[in-house]
Amino acid sequence: MIYLHIPFCKSFCTYCGFYSEIETPGCYAKYADEICAEIKTRRSEFRGSLKTLYCGGGTPSLLPLNALAKILLALGEIGQGGPYEEFTMEVNPDDIVEKGVDYVKGLISLGVNRISIGVQSFDDDLLKFMNRRHDAAKAEKAVDIVREAGITNLSLDLIFGVGGMTADSWKDTVKKALDLHPEHISCYQLSIDEGSHLAQLISDGLYTEASEEDCREQYDLLCELCRERGFHHYEISNFALPGKEALHNSGYWSREPYVGLGPGAHSLSGATRSWNTRTLNEYSPEFEYLGEEEVRLESIMLSLRTDRGISAEVLRKQCDPETIERLVSEGALSLSGGRYRIPEDHFFVSDEIIRELI
Ligand code: SF4
C-alpha cells in the first residue's frame, strides 16, 4: 500500500491541523522531483499484498496531471506502478469545477479508479465558517463532473459536530449527500487541532464547541439515514455500499504494511513505524520501533473500530476476561462467529470501551 501526500492548499480551512503549505509557482514540478527521488531511495521498503495507492493532502487535486504522471512513472520503475486494485484521489470540489471533466478523465487515464470529494457540508454558512473554497452548489456540480468523466467509485467526506450547527442543517447535509448516490461516505467529528484557526477562535472566546449530546444525535442520525439507504457501517467513521468498502483504509485497520511518501507522511512495516518530518524540501525520515505490547494494543484498537471486530480467542488472551464479560453484559461488546465487536449503537463511545479493555 502506498500513500502519497500532496502538501499544498490554496487557502487554509478553519479547523485544519494537517501539514500543508500554500502553493507557489513551480512548486508541483519541484515536488514531483522530490517524490521521485524519495521513491528511488526507499525502493526496498515497498512490500505487502495490497496493491493500493492513496493520494491525500493537503489538496491532491491541485497537482497537475503531468506531475502525477511523473511520480507514477517513478513508481513503475521500481516495480510498484499500476494498475492498482484501488487508486484513490482526494479532491476539492472547487478544483473539479474549475478544471472540468477533462481533468478527471486525465486522472482516470493515469489509473485513478476512486475519487473522494471533500464536501464536508451542504450548508453554505457552515462552509464559509470552515473557510472552504466551495459552496454546496459547487459540491453537487463536482459530483456530476466526476460521474460524467466515468468514475464509478465515489466517496463523499462530511464533518459533523460543528458548533452552532442545527439538527436540520445536519439532516439536510446527510440527505443531500445520500441523494447524490455515492458508493461511500466518510464522516468525522470535528476535532480541535492545536495550531488551527479554530483553536485560536476558542481561546479568543469566539467559538463554542458542539455539546457531546448534539454530536451523539448527529452521529445517530447519520447511522440511521445511511442504514436506510443500504450502506454498510464497516468502520466507526465509514459507510459503504456492499462491496465498496475502501481497500486502502481497511488495510490500515488490519495493520498492512504501507509506505507514505512526502513530508509528514507515515509508514508502517511490522513493528516499525516511521514518518517523514514535516518540512518541505528537506524532509527526512524518523523511526519508532514498536514493542510487542504496543503492536498488541494497536491491533486491538484498530480491529475494534471496524465491524469485523477481533477474534474472541485473541481478545480473551490479551485483555482481562472479567472486563470483557462486563462489557458484553452492558451491551458494549457483542460476541458472534467467534469474534468480539463493538455494536453500532456503541460505536460513538468506542474510545471509552477500548480504553477499558486495554
Ligand atoms: S483541511 Fe485539507 S484542504 Fe483544508 S487547509 Fe487542511 S489540508 Fe488544506
| Per-residue pLDDT of the chain in tens (358 residues, 90 and over written 9) | 999 999 999 999 999 987 788 999 999 999 999 999 999 999 999 977 769 999 999 999 999 999 999 999 999 999 999 899 999 999 999 999 999 999 999 999 999 999 999 999 999 999 999 999 999 999 999 999 999 999 999 999 999 999 999 999 999 999 999 999 999 999 999 999 988 999 999 999 999 999 999 999 999 999 999 999 999 999 999 999 999 999 999 999 999 999 999 999 999 998 898 999 887 777 777 878 888 888 888 999 999 999 999 999 999 999 999 999 999 999 999 999 999 999 999 999 999 999 999 8
Q: CA-CA distance, 86 to 51, in Å (whole number)?
A: 7
Ligand 1 touching residue 59 (CB < 6 A): yes
Please identify, by atom number, the ligand 1 atom nearest to the C-alpha of residue 131.
4
Ligand 1, atom nearest to 16 Cα: 6
Specify the residue with its C-alpha closest to ligand 1, atom 5: 12
Q: Is 127 in the pocket of ligand 1 (CB under 6 A)?
A: no
Please state, in angstroms and rounded to a whole number, the distance separating the CA atoms of residues 132 and 118. 9
Nearest protein CA to atom 6 of ligand 1, as residue: 16
- Structural domains of the chain, ranges and CATH numbers in brackets: 2-253 (3.80.30.20), 291-358 (no CATH)
Is 301 within 8 Å of 253 (Cβ atoms)? no
Residues contacting 48, CB < 8 A, separation 6+: 1, 251, 256, 257, 258
CA distance 344 to 358: 20
Sign of the C-alpha dihedral computed for residues 47, 116, 34 and 29 taken in this order = positive
Query: How far away, in angstroms, is 13 Cα from ligand 1 center?
Result: 5
Q: Is 12 close to ligand 1, i.e. is its CB under 6 Å away?
A: yes
CA-closest candidate to residue 259, choices 96, 10, 40: 40
Burial 287-316 (b: 16+ CB within 10 A, else e): eeeeeeeeebbbbbbbbbbbbbbbebeebe
Tell which one of 14, 59, 138 to mutate to probe ligand 1, the residue whose CB is within 8 A of the most ligand atoms.
59
Mutate to test the pocket of ligand 1, among 8, 10, 13 (most ligand atoms within 8 A of CB): 13
Whole-number Å distance between alpha carbons of 234 and 250: 9
Is the CB of 130 within 6 Å of ligand 1?
Answer: no
CA distance 154 to 145: 12
